[in-house]
Amino acid sequence: MKYVPAQLVYFLRNRASQRNIGLMLRFLAAVTAVTILYSILFHILMAREGQEMSWLTGVYWTLTVMSTLGFGDITFHSDLGRAFSIVVLLSGVVFLMILLPFTFINFFYAPWMEAQAEARAPRSLPAKTQGHVLLTYHDAVTTALIGRLTRYGYDYALLVPELNEALRLHDLGYRVVLGDLDNPETYERARVHQAAMVVTTASDEVNTNVAITVREIDAAVPIIATANHHDSVDILELAGCTHVFELAELLGHWLARRAHNGRTVTHVIGRLNELLIAEATVAGTTLVGRTLAECGLREEVGLTVVGLWEHGQFQTPRADTTISPSSVLVLAGSRAQLDCLDKKSGVQGGSQIPVVIIGGGRVGQAAGRSLAQRGIDYRIVERNPEQIEDAERYILGNAANLHVLARAELNRAPAVIITTHDDDTNIYVAIYCRRLRPDIKIISRATLERNVQTLHRAGSDFIMSYASLGANSIFNLLRRRDTVMVAEGLNVFKVQLPVSLAGRSLRESAIRKHSGCSVIAVEHDGQIQINPDPGAPLPADARLILIGSVEEENAFLREYASARESVSA
């Protein structure tokens, strides 16, 4: 019932509805006139046959014949009367059985249903709405971003130009606002002046239009856009975008930094100010075969082992965990501490065998450039001749062909990076490469988040989805701090110390026990303390730097504080 007033207002204000109502009234007037005419003729013919009928009886007979009810209680005895009955019957079929339903459905029922649908898809946000994020396109990136916004208590609205799509998303539980993306009124109704940011992830052309339209009415709101082509970055910035992300470039760099050249044990995968998050490939070092306690990395080097990878599975470290040749340690520390580990690990030079990249699209090319910047050679396997740029580093052919992979030296390569945009192909190639090389490191891209676990089962060691990387990059701008993605679903993140933990020590708080997250550092007075003393009380204005999965992060927020309290600046 609460939608009826809104439906009625929209219905009456709509010009098409007003025109339809006028046509409907004209049709009803025509039917009324015909009914009156037939009633008069009924009286005349009945009088000729010597039958006296009232005027109400004439209307009654006309309507029963026109509607084909035909009760038969009033009949003509002459052929002229019967011919008149046939005319009334046939005209009734046309007017009441054909024209009336068509007119009612087309001019009244359909517009009313449209008004009902319009009422379900809001065209504006409440006037008090503020601090929200406006999204202009629904795709994998914004779906992942909405999950993060919801988890941390941020409001959002998804602008949708098409009614059917808006209703579909509304029924799925999204908060939508119906309106054209190139109409300034849409953003006015969405309270863009009070928004935290506008995010547009559509095509470069649409993103440019959105940026210009928003800038017509608001010069200050941050506009975050994605660019599919490098040449579009400048255009988007000129249109008014505050930040422009080339997600293909970012994803290529992320995948490439997982590849190892054998010259050092550690390689940095992210940073939070001076705190570095690194991975250490220990095969061929003196760490293999020893437990974490025996390695003494914390005591001798000052590094914290926050976890380790074993065949693509992340494990929480324990003192008695034995390091195997396939282990990859996840470390937190400073640059000096990482350099110290490289010196102590017994690394003997480095390999010049190229890393294999499967897929020569934008992501694969970005991965190759990132490897080249680190001095690592690579070979790109690409089956489209138009994508070939450098004949020395490109191998033309299908990655499912054994001879093609042999030309790329997969049999000796330290790692393979799978970058195609088709998850089915990535899964197939991952299984194939794992079959050929059980010991190789497989780094894979996922387009859809739901295929991440499948890629792990296929043999991939490290996976990053396009959606998660984009959502994380945008969300960092909203929170104005970093969240380092160690891998798909595993983050290093910073939170304000919850009130419930102020004055308590890490040992007393039992954060790992209650949430699964591990504290790797404490930030206080602008200084980051790596390997904090577990027995020291935590200052009320400190910030915790933790590592954990999405589920563990949610468990931390539920256990110790509200989402808004823990992420406040």
Q: Quick: pLDDT tens for 303-348.
A: 888 778 776 677 777 788 888 877 788 888 888 888 888 777 655 4
Rounded to whole angstroms, how far apart are CA atoms 198 and 213?
Answer: 12
232: CATH = 3.40.50.720
State whether 375 and 459 are in the same domain: yes
Domain count for the chain: 5
| 495: its two tokens | 């939170």
State whether 338 and 360 are in the same domain: no
Quick check: pTM over 0.75? Answer: no
* Residues 472/493, Cβ–Cβ less than 8 Å: no
Q: Which residue has the tokens 């939070």?
A: 272
Rounded to whole angstroms, how far apart are CA atoms 179 and 160?
Answer: 6
Domain annotation covers residue 238: yes
Q: Where are the alpha helices (DSSP H) in 79-174?
A: 79-92, 100-104, 110-120, 140-151, 163-171
End position of a domain, from candidates 120, 155, 178: 120
C-alpha separations of 534 from 256, 501, 531 in Å: 35, 13, 8
Q: Which residue has the tokens 């779906």?
A: 143
SS3 of 495-556: EECCHHHCCCEHHHHCHHHHHCCEEEEEEECCEEEECCCCCCECCCCCEEEEEEEHHHHHHH
97: CATH = 1.10.287.70
Q: Are strands 328-333 and 304-310 parallel, antiparallel or unpaired?
A: antiparallel
End position of a domain, from candidates 89, 120, 151: 120
User: What was the pLDDT predicted at 242?
Assistant: 94
State whether 380 and 450 are in the same domain: yes
State whether 385 and 417 are in the same domain: yes
State whether 286 and 376 are in the same domain: no
Q: Nearest-CA neighbor of 248 among 426, 388, 419, 415?
A: 419
Q: How wide is the angle at C-alpha 379 spanned by C-alphas 378 and 382, nearest 5°?
A: 145
Q: Where are the alpha helices (DSSP H) in 308-451?
A: 335-344, 362-373, 402-407, 423-436
Rounded to whole angstroms, how far apart are CA atoms 299 and 235?
Answer: 52
DSSP state of 226: E
Sheet of strand 266-272, all strands in order from the earlier edge strand to the far edge: 266-272, 275-281, 328-333, 304-310, 313-315
State whether 235 and 177 are in the same domain: yes
User: What was the pLDDT predicted at 309?
Assistant: 77
Q: Quick: pLDDT tens for 537-564.
A: 999 888 888 888 777 888 887 887 544 4
Band the pLDDT of 367: cuts 50, 70, 90.
Answer: very high
State whether 340 and 267 are in the same domain: yes
Average pLDDT of the chain is 83
| 199: its two tokens | 């995010």
Domain annotation covers residue 81: yes
Domain of 509 in residue numbering reads as 489-567
Rounded to whole angstroms, how far apart are CA atoms 453 and 33?
Answer: 72
State whether 19 and 113 are in the same domain: yes
Q: Quick: pLDDT tens for 486-525.
A: 666 677 888 888 888 888 888 888 888 888 888 888 888 8
User: Which of 40-49, 63-72, 305-314 is most confident?
Assistant: 40-49
End position of a domain, from candidates 61, 88, 120: 120
Q: Which residue has the tokens 């019932």?
A: 1
Q: Nearest-CA neighbor of 494 among 509, 474, 480, 511?
A: 480
523: CATH = 3.30.70.1450
Q: What is the DSSP string of 300-324?
A: II--EEEEEEETTEEE---TTPBPP
